[in-house]
């Protein structure tokens, strides 16, 4: 199983990083941009994915990969899958 909207997700992640990386570098006293990007992704990558997959992705209700990001069953027929 793979994400059919991976490109869109990555574009969203890149936009968020570009918007916030300078402040992240300053707050965390990181001079090197590449190290700052790695740190940003390590700290906030999960949150970005959760927001994209749970709220933004147009396939979020039909995607088995995104089920962990919302309490609604992604299958139109319904199911007994519970969020853990």
Residue 20 phi, psi (nearest 5): -115, -5
pLDDT of residue 83 exceeding 50: no
Distance CA 18, CA 32 (A): 14
Contact predicate 9/52, CB 8 Å: yes
Give the pLDDT score at 59: 86
Q: What is the pLDDT of residues 4-53, one digit of tens each?
A: 888 999 999 999 999 999 999 999 999 999 999 999 999 999 888 888 88
* Mean pLDDT confidence for 56-74: 73
């Amino acid at each position: 199983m793979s994400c059919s909207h991976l490109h869109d997700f990555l574009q969203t992640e890149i936009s968020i990083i570009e918007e916030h990386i300078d402040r992240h570098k300053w707050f965390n006293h990181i001079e090197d941009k590449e190290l700052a990007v790695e740190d940003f992704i390590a700290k906030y990558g999960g949150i970005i994915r959760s927001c994209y997959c749970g709220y933004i992705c147009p396939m979020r209700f039909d995607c088995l990969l995104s089920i962990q990001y919302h309490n609604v069953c992604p299958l139109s027929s319904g199911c007994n899958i519970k969020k853990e």
